[in-house]
Structure formats: structure tokens, C-alpha cells
Amino acid sequence: MNLSTPLTRPSLHEELVTRLRQAIVEGALEPDAKVPERELCENLGVSRTPLREALKVLANEGLVVLQSNRGARISKVTMEELEDAFPVIAVLEGLAGELACASATDKEISHIVARHHDMFRYYEAGDRSAYFQANRDIHAALMAAARNPVLAQHYAMLSSRVERARLLANVSDSRWAEAVEEHREIVKAVEARDGPRLSALLRAHLNNKLAALKKALT
């Protein structure tokens, strides 16, 4: 047996998981709905086997519930889940911010700051979709700049749950304005490479987001 040749993971599996995850997070596949396996296979041009393998990954992420002999359902968004997940995500993001300040290149810092400025412009234009995309880009860039694959893996597993809750909730304009002000302080800490301050700001930002989501969803 040859154990010296690197294994390669089929790109189809990764793309399928990504597409399904995005559909769940954005609400195209609604909470508690049965996963339409036949329809998905036809639309995506895949067989049942890779689809079910992808669903197993999403089940491990908490986005799908596998039912014995009954297919799969999209998991519900519950307050209990959010209250369990948010403190963990806050710690992960705080650690990522601290590590990023220590290891990010000047180019990476410039990119993060530029996306912050883009986000502020989208806020002023009232473009929520573009604003939230820039927001996702910023957090992803901080996580990448942290240079810690284990941290990134655990963050990716939890962040999709939080993202789905945010898209389902109708967060108020007042909370949106507060979030923008929090981000102004965040970008200052990024520019200063102040890891401890950035870590504290990110954790506080996540805690405030949880409080807003609880209010919106209840």
C-alpha cells in the first residue's frame, strides 16, 4: 500500500456542501422543512450518494437533522442553540482578532480596513445585503489572518448557525446603527494592531448581537 502520495479531496463534495450550506443560511431551504433530495439532485446534477454525504457534513454542523429511513430535515433555529453558540463564537472571534493583530501582513490589514470602509458606505446607502456581505468578508479576513486552522475549523462550524439566525431575524435600525459604531472602534483597533482591545471589542460585539437577536426573534 502506497502511503507516500498525498490524498486529494474531490471538489464536487466541497462545492456541494458549500451550496447547500448557503441555501440553508440564506433561507432558500427553510427551517423544519424536509430536504427535497430528488429535486436537489436534479437541479444540481448530482446523484443521491454525494448529496447524502454532504448532508452528513451539514448535520455535524447542526444545520440538518438526519432521520432514520425518513430522509433529512432542515434544523430549526432555537434560542437555546443561540445562547449556547454565541459565547463560544465570541471567544473564537476574540482569539482570532488577537492572533490576527500579531500575524497579519500589512496588506491583510489594509484589506480589512478597506472592507470596513466599504461597509460603512453600504450602511449610509441603506444597502443591508451589501453591508452584511462586507461584514462577512471582514470576519473571514480576520480569521484567515489569525493563521490557525484549528480555530478556523471550529469557527466555520458554528458561524453558519449564527448567520442563519441573523438573516431570519428582522434586526431593528437602531441596533444596526449601534453595530456600525461598534465596528468603528473595531477598525481602529485593527489599524493599531491592538490585539487585546480588538479581542474585547469583538466579544462585546457578539454579545450585543445575541441580545438583539433574542429581542428580534421573540
Task: Give strand pairing partners of 66.
Answer: 72
Q: How far is it, in rounded angstroms, from Cα 44 to Cα 24?
A: 15
pLDDT at 196: 98
Last residue of a domain, one of 32, 50, 74: 74
Q: Tell me, what's the pLDDT at 4?
A: 39
* Same-domain pairing of 70 and 135: no
What global pTM score does this model have?
Answer: 0.79
Q: Which three cell numbers stand for residue 193?
A: 494592531
DSSP tag of 73: E
Residue 2 lies in a domain: no
Asked if 130 and 177 sit in the same domain, the reply is yes
Count of C-beta atoms within a 10 Å radius of residue 184: 11
In a shared domain, residues 50 and 106: no
User: Do residues 90 and 18 both lie within one domain?
Assistant: no
- Residue 105 lies inside a defined structural domain of this protein: yes
Per-position pLDDT tens, the chain of length 218: 333 344 344 588 888 998 899 889 888 898 899 999 999 999 999 899 999 999 999 999 889 999 987 889 999 888 888 899 999 999 999 999 999 999 999 999 999 999 999 999 999 999 988 998 899 899 999 999 999 999 998 998 888 888 888 776 667 889 999 999 999 999 999 999 999 999 999 999 999 989 988 888 77
Residue 10: its pLDDT value, please?
A: 52
Q: Does residue 7 come out as left (phi exceeding 0), alpha (psi in the -120 to 50 range) or beta?
A: beta
Give the ranges where 1-61 is alpha helix by DSSP (H).
11-25, 37-44, 48-60
Residues 91 and 41 grouped into a single domain: no
138 and 65 share a domain?
no
The domain tally of the chain equals: 2
* Domain co-membership, 49 together with 107: no
Spatial CB neighbours of 193, under 8 Å, sequence gap ≥ 6: 101, 102, 104, 109
> Domain residues for 207?
79-216
